[in-house]
Structure 1
Amino acid sequence: MSLSTKPIHRAWWKECSVYQIWPRSYKDSNDDGIGDIPGIISQLDYIHKLGVDIVWLCPSYKSPQVDMGYDIADYYSIADEYGTVADVEALIRGCHQRGMKLLMDLVVNHTSDQHEWFKQSRSSKDNEYRDWYIWKPAKYDEAGNREPPNNWVSHFQGSAWQYDELTDEYYLHLFAPEQPDLNWEHPPVRKAVHDIIRFWLEKGCDGYRMDVINFISKHQRYPNAPIQDPHSPWQSGDRYYANGPRLHEYLQDIGKILKEHDAFSVGEMPFVTDEQEVLRAVQAGRNELNMIFSFEHVNVDHGKYGKFDPGSWELTDLKSFFERWQPFMYENDGWNALYWENHDQPRSIDRYTEASEEHEGVAAKMLAVALALQSGTPFIYQGQELGMRNVPKSWGIEKYQDIDCLNHWKLLLKEKPSDTAAQKIALQEYQKKSRDNARTPVQWSDAPNAGFTAPTIKPWMSVNDNYPRINAAVEIHDANSVYTFWASVLRLRKEYKDVFVYGSWTVVDAPSQDIFAFTRQFDDQKVLVLCNWTERSLTWDPRDNGITATKDMLLNNYEAPAEALKRFSAHLDPTTYPRSHHDATQNIHLTLTYSPLDPTTYLAETSSAAAGATTLFLGTTRDTFEGRSVSQLSYTTYPPLALKTLQTIAEAAVHKHQLKGVSIAHRLGVVPIKEASIAIAVSAGHRAAAWRAGEEILEACKEKAEIWKREEFVDGGMEWRANADRDAEGNAVNKATS
């Protein structure tokens, strides 16, 4: 019997996983120190064994390599150092022979300044290619000094406008000056892009990853951006070029071509957080993109003034991203692109965990589970399947090659030449966040240069020092390796594709700063995914989080699933986990229970011949909250900690008011409307002490007890709250301090 009422739109690309290759650092086949396409072909069996379905080839077109291939000089040719068009055709065949597809990169927000289009465009204002790019006249201040057309900042530091003396105008470059932006308002530009798309699709390419595709439509006024960084003359203009007014028109034109070939598409879309705007790009039936790369979770460690400004985050910050987008996409026929790493991001072990060398393997496995078993298409970046790490902390600036990083360093030296403290912080941030972290050569073996190139050849970029212990040659034969575990995760996703691909997603234990847990459900199949985000052993009680039974343990990164199931299932037995505390000397009784509260029991517990008054308070679930209809409440806690806090509260009340008995009982799990969630019974020598003590205990419980509730509304929404979030009148408590 089917339990699902939501229509399921199945698609081949939803069931796939993607392996991203950045060719320069993948495998060198001709001993020139640079990875190439024949090197990729030589490792197709390794990729296929991992269990992925699609290979994504990062830009390998002809390029001056100012931005490592994202500055394209010819979309129809392959860079000499990478190979030839014939090599790409061989790569396509090799993928198809193994049942895999090939995804190529489409970089059409900008070109290289060495592209023939731009050479023609900058040659004169009358050239037929002039309008293929965005040219604007200079502005002048009161003193007659020439200034750029506006104050937009480039993503690679400095102004986003470059002055060109030949025609006395500026051109827009949202990235490097060598990467001028195309003018998509000009119809010949769009036709040229469509021709490029068709060219590679007709050669057998199965789709595209589209670089900063939401930048292609700009607001045509090109106004100044508001001041966000008072320390810089250049400000982020993203509100005027990210998701511009004609974006969806342009994407639908591309979508028509892709649909003709049943091709895959994923768009890189920075600065987009509006749910409806995202939905317009990926919703089923819109025929724009299959999915997009969001950036909120990879910006979690950024500071106030950008990537290289120190930032801090907590696990709940990361979880909030998934809590928002996972249910939203599921309910609205959208789709998520799941990734921790890519060519622009640091290694996930170092960004998202604090794993030591001892725990790096299990950390990598945990991250694999947390990513690939969510709702969406998982993307694995080269080396991620091995657990590769960030560059060594010992690296000096001379080791880095990332243009973003180097431009930031140049600007820092210019503005703060003597500030050694700022320079030290910058180097620390580069080690954490530079794109070079993802671009060190893949570690194939423990041979010199990690087997990436010949032992006597200097690689284009230094190999990470840890290659003797982290390398493919060791891992592909190790049943407990990160590589083998990734293969198991991807195999599990396919074996249970109904639940892992098409199932719903619900967060579990949302307030925890140590645990990332969620459930996936499809009809009567339900799976709990439980990830410990620390290096510590944690006790986590399934019953406290609504898990009352388990059938099978599908995967575990420490021990055999059967052994893990025994250990996990023990927590489902109430006798193994204390949820009560009784102190006969002080007549204190504390109870945490999944059963309905029994006032008679609590009155009997506090009964005393010396008592002249006994009070009982019951807090019940009401059917509305702030105008919204409530369906039920759900409570969760960590019992040992909560019981300790309740004991402290009760003992303080006994001593202060000379009480004869105290009983505090709190309901866990689901509490329906009208049922009690907390009961407090107090006996004292006189009624005044009993009244005061009961109220003080209640307020102390709300303020201090580690018990969280989830309000579930009739309209389908839900919110997690701590009890301390509301005062006695139900008003929100402002916890801000000055």
Structure 2
Amino acid sequence: MGSPKPINRAWWKESSVYQIWPASYKDSNDDGIGDIPGIISKLDYIKNIGVDIVWLCPSYKSPQVDMGYDIADYYSIADEYGTVADVEKLIQGCHQRGMKLLMDLVVNHTSDQHEWFKQSRSSKNNEFRDWYVWKPPRIDEQGNRHPPNNWVSHFQGSAWQFDELTGEYYLHLYATEQPDLNWEHPPVVKAVHDIMRFWLDKGCDGFRMDVINFISKDQAFPDAPIKNPHSEWQWGDKYYANGPRLHEYLQGVGKILKEYDAFSVGEMPFVKDEKEVLRAVQFDRNEINMIFNFEHVDIDHGQYDKFEPGSWKLTDLKEFFERWQKFMYANDGWNALYWENHDQPRCIDRFTNSKEEYRLVASKMLAIALALQSGTPFVYQGQELGMRNVPTTWGIEEYRDIDCLNHWNGVVKGKKFDTRAQAIALQEYQKKSRDNARTPVQWSDAPNGGFTGPNVKPWMSVNPDYVRVNAAAEVKDPNSTYHFWAAVLGLRKKYLDIFVYGDWVNVDRTSEKVFAYTRQYENQKALVLCNWTEKTLDWDASSNGIASVKEVLLNTYDSATEATQRFSDAYTMTSQEALPAHLDPTTYPRTHHDAAQNIHLTLTYTPLDPNTYLSQVSSPAAGANVFFLGTTRDTFEDRPVSQLSYTTYPLLSLKTLAAIAEDAVRKHQLLGVSIAHRLGVVPIGEASIAIAVSSGHRAAGWRAGEEVLEACKERAEIWKREEFVDGGMEWRANADRDGEGRLVGNPRMEES
């Protein structure tokens, strides 16, 4: 019998994530570059995949040397993507649909155009000098200048750049325009914490943390061992990956994340030691929820470089999964499950290399193989459509990735007339370049795949197969990869105990054709069986320990629509499943009371009592008590409404309501403010919001009451779902006006 050990359940374990690379997602203004308004326009499409979290790749102000991972201002949004207000709308749009928004936290390095670095490089005595890693040159016996050590940059060449102005080198593990921050300097740590709080306070639900295990470095900065005899520069990961103070820094980050109940996933290259990973992700250590492991996506790399030909076997892949599935389950850790992201090629090409005729079943098989394992599944944009790598006919002029272009420049520089070397390089780019994941999303068979206008040149060419593979066609096709992903994620939610919390056992371990595993929770057991070939296979279940199969829940040749219908109740909580705290009525009422300012705030699932809220603000010094009671009505724009329901994130909404009340007290010299909002289902005619203010004079009370109401509707993180008599349903902001702008509710004033 499986799973006898206690299990720590968590909402983020049960979630799935959809990753968005903004430049290539959807262009809303026909400038050839994707943007945040374009993302907002596709939120319903994303929601229908069945994911719970949207991960937005870096959209901060940036020179775009490394597509946004060179940040010039953490508090601003790049003009080409939109504004901070657009991000706030995106957050609200996700929350209205029951999804969360994850942002990228890139704090190992900044752009060289960040004001911190501009100040740092201006003088050795500048207060920002120690915000970055600066070292004097090494001088040889002949008086020649050399970098401080032999570390190689991830984007080719030395990891050190000499700066003429101050005569020192600065460290850049990536592009020369991406100087590394110095986390040994306490103001840097504080600045990172401030950035996190800024976005969390805006409603962001957590972070993906870029190369977060590079933030602590061996302060001796020694030379790296020589592993590649053909290069002057060597990998120094031994001295900068998982450095001596990493977990101290992660504890500080984790403390903030815990305060906001925020999601976290860390990108941690070069980490293969289980104990080191466990120190970061073990449930009770409160550092980060999970990490991205790189072993399975490095599987096709060459001996010295990813752009060298490499080879692998299915058993290599199975060994990787078995190792981490079993280790995390046994040690209360957690896996991040992914085939693709913005740094990896498309999984159909990398892991199956299937012919075009098998694209559909290959993409479905990969969905099942990944998402039903133990861990949080990540789906990268276009993966839900079965998008593939760039065409083999593309020349170097089509590529945009700095990693790829720097490598090409090195090949051409060193082997200018070696056409064979150049052909091999292009072959490897088509297999492994990051650009494979960065072609624009294919929305339709219109010119440019519907990504941008028909007469616009997109920032990167669209894969020409968009005429066959696009979202419009797949949404209409019940047998598509898009609908199959929805079925897989629905299956995972319906059988939560098995596919989220069950154990994992490798089956038919030595087969190079079949990837099979079982998931078991107590007496519930499921077999996942994947044919990794383009041929029909016979598989002997009994010889692999499978005595019988009671029911086939899902297979790649099913109509995905039929399968989805079978799991349509996947989102309905059963009596045995725990609701998230913010949706559990038994955790309410949630209140806030500021005695000094006589402010009372209430979030409750019970009917609102006007006398309670009026009595809270009453004062002998009051000349007026103004009270507003907002009630639910039976129509919206002439459409009959059957009922309304409200939901919120109480930590955020109480904080916002407190700020609204404090502003009103200060501006109008109020004697008291009470704001109460009802949650859950509110029947027609019953009150959803109550506002009471007490003031010395009625004019101030009237103005304050209306301003508090308007501010609540505009700012409070409370959303309502209108359910219509005709069966329709709409989520909308908690607006207080109808389609013609008329105020909704029953205001009354009491003057004393």
Q: Name the structure 1 match of 2:301.
A: 302
1:174 aligned partner, one-letter code: L
> What are the Cα deviations for residues 541-588 of structure 1, in whole angstroms up to 9, with x where unaligned?
101101111111000002469x99xxxxxxxxxxxxxxxxxxxxxxxx
Taking the aligned partners of 2:382 and 2:163, their CA distance within structure 1 comes to 41
Residue 145 of structure 2 is aligned to residue 139 of structure 1: no
1:202 aligned partner, one-letter code: D
Deviates more, 1:86-95 or 1:143-152: 143-152
Residue 34 of structure 2 is aligned to residue 26 of structure 1: no
Where do 1:136-535 residues align within 5 Å? 136-535=135-534
Residue 147 of structure 2 contacts residue 169 of structure 2 at CA under 8 Å; is this kept in 1?
A: yes
> What are the Cα deviations for residues 427-471 of structure 1, in whole angstroms up to 9, with x where unaligned?
000000000000000000000000000000000000001001110
Residue 301 of structure 2 contacts residue 310 of structure 2 at CA under 8 Å; is this kept in 1?
A: yes
Q: Name the structure 1 match of 2:72.
A: 73
Residue 543 of structure 2 is aligned to residue 544 of structure 1: yes
Deviates more, 1:97-106 or 1:537-546: 537-546
Taking the aligned partners of 1:470 and 1:314, their CA distance within structure 2 comes to 29
Secondary structure, aligned partner of 2:207: strand
1:179 aligned partner, one-letter code: Q
Taking the aligned partners of 1:157 and 1:378, their CA distance within structure 2 comes to 32
Quote the offset at 1:144 in angstroms: 1.5
1:294 aligned partner, one-letter code: N
Taking the aligned partners of 1:4 and 1:437, their CA distance within structure 2 comes to 40
Structure 1 unaligned residues grouped into runs of 5+:
565-738
Taking the aligned partners of 2:154 and 2:559, their CA distance within structure 1 comes to 47
> What are the Cα deviations for residues 470-501 of structure 1, in whole angstroms up to 9, with x where unaligned?
10000011110000000000000000000000
2:282 aligned partner, one-letter code: Q
1:288 aligned partner, one-letter code: E
1:326 aligned partner, one-letter code: Q
Taking the aligned partners of 2:554 and 2:266, their CA distance within structure 1 comes to 32
CA distance 1:119–1:3, shift in 2 (3 Å) = closer
Residue 439 of structure 2 contacts residue 463 of structure 2 at CA under 8 Å; is this kept in 1?
A: yes
> What are the Cα deviations for residues 686-725 of structure 1, in whole angstroms up to 9, with x where unaligned?
xxxxxxxxxxxxxxxxxxxxxxxxxxxxxxxxxxxxxxxx
Taking the aligned partners of 1:533 and 1:366, their CA distance within structure 2 comes to 8
Where do 1:17-96 residues align within 5 Å? 17-96=16-95
Q: Name the structure 1 match of 2:553.
A: 554
Quote the offset at 1:4 in angstroms: 3.7
> What are the Cα deviations for residues 81-137 of structure 1, in whole angstroms up to 9, with x where unaligned?
000000000000000000000000000000000000000000000000000000000
Quote the offset at 1:189 in angstroms: 0.2
Quote the offset at 1:385 in angstroms: 0.2
> What are the Cα deviations for residues 314-353 of structure 1, in whole angstroms up to 9, with x where unaligned?
0001111001000110010000000000000000000000
Q: Name the structure 1 match of 2:10.
A: 11
Taking the aligned partners of 2:265 and 2:439, their CA distance within structure 1 comes to 25
2:226 aligned partner, one-letter code: I
Quote the offset at 1:3 in angstroms: 6.1
How many residues align structurally?
A: 563
Taking the aligned partners of 1:154 and 1:103, their CA distance within structure 2 comes to 28
Taking the aligned partners of 1:354 and 1:390, their CA distance within structure 2 comes to 10
Taking the aligned partners of 1:536 and 1:368, their CA distance within structure 2 comes to 19
Quote the offset at 1:5 in angstroms: 2.0
Q: Name the structure 1 match of 2:110.
A: 111
Taking the aligned partners of 1:331 and 1:319, their CA distance within structure 2 comes to 18
1:183 aligned partner, one-letter code: N
2:316 aligned partner, one-letter code: D
2:331 aligned partner, one-letter code: N
Secondary structure, aligned partner of 1:162: strand
Secondary structure, aligned partner of 2:12: helix
Secondary structure, aligned partner of 1:15: coil
Taking the aligned partners of 2:520 and 2:372, their CA distance within structure 1 comes to 12
Q: TM-score, normalised by structure 1?
A: 0.76
RMSD over aligned Cα atoms: 1.3
Q: Name the structure 2 match of 1:724.
A: none
Runs of 4+ in 1 over 6 A off after TM superposition: none
Secondary structure, aligned partner of 2:188: helix
Taking the aligned partners of 1:415 and 1:34, their CA distance within structure 2 comes to 34
Taking the aligned partners of 2:138 and 2:470, their CA distance within structure 1 comes to 55
Where do 1:112-131 residues align within 5 Å? 112-131=111-130
2:541 aligned partner, one-letter code: P
Structure 2 unaligned residues grouped into runs of 5+:
564-752
Taking the aligned partners of 1:455 and 1:560, their CA distance within structure 2 comes to 33
Residue 498 of structure 2 contacts residue 525 of structure 2 at CA under 8 Å; is this kept in 1?
A: yes
Quote the offset at 1:142 in angstroms: 2.1
Taking the aligned partners of 1:4 and 1:373, their CA distance within structure 2 comes to 16
Q: Name the structure 2 match of 1:609.
A: none
Q: TM-score, normalised by structure 2?
A: 0.74
Taking the aligned partners of 1:353 and 1:141, their CA distance within structure 2 comes to 51
Residue 513 of structure 2 contacts residue 533 of structure 2 at CA under 8 Å; is this kept in 1?
A: yes
Residue 2 of structure 2 contacts residue 502 of structure 2 at CA under 8 Å; is this kept in 1?
A: no
Secondary structure, aligned partner of 1:318: helix
Taking the aligned partners of 2:132 and 2:33, their CA distance within structure 1 comes to 32
CA distance 1:549–1:302, shift in 2 (3 Å) = same
2:418 aligned partner, one-letter code: D
Residue 388 of structure 2 contacts residue 436 of structure 2 at CA under 8 Å; is this kept in 1?
A: yes
Taking the aligned partners of 2:412 and 2:420, their CA distance within structure 1 comes to 12
Residue 290 of structure 2 contacts residue 334 of structure 2 at CA under 8 Å; is this kept in 1?
A: yes
Taking the aligned partners of 2:394 and 2:141, their CA distance within structure 1 comes to 46
> What are the Cα deviations for residues 176-214 of structure 1, in whole angstroms up to 9, with x where unaligned?
000000000000000000000000000000000000000
CA distance 1:560–1:125, shift in 2 (3 Å) = closer
Residue 479 of structure 2 contacts residue 559 of structure 2 at CA under 8 Å; is this kept in 1?
A: no
- Aligned sequence identity (%): 78
Secondary structure, aligned partner of 1:490: helix
1:225 aligned partner, one-letter code: A
1:373 aligned partner, one-letter code: L
Taking the aligned partners of 2:387 and 2:14, their CA distance within structure 1 comes to 26
Residue 33 of structure 2 contacts residue 458 of structure 2 at CA under 8 Å; is this kept in 1?
A: yes
Taking the aligned partners of 2:16 and 2:353, their CA distance within structure 1 comes to 27
Secondary structure, aligned partner of 2:308: strand
CA distance 1:560–1:60, shift in 2 (3 Å) = closer
Taking the aligned partners of 1:102 and 1:497, their CA distance within structure 2 comes to 22
Taking the aligned partners of 1:478 and 1:524, their CA distance within structure 2 comes to 36
2:555 aligned partner, one-letter code: N
Taking the aligned partners of 1:234 and 1:4, their CA distance within structure 2 comes to 48
Residue 3 of structure 2 contacts residue 503 of structure 2 at CA under 8 Å; is this kept in 1?
A: no
Taking the aligned partners of 1:354 and 1:451, their CA distance within structure 2 comes to 27
CA distance 1:224–1:274, shift in 2 (3 Å) = same
Taking the aligned partners of 2:558 and 2:46, their CA distance within structure 1 comes to 26
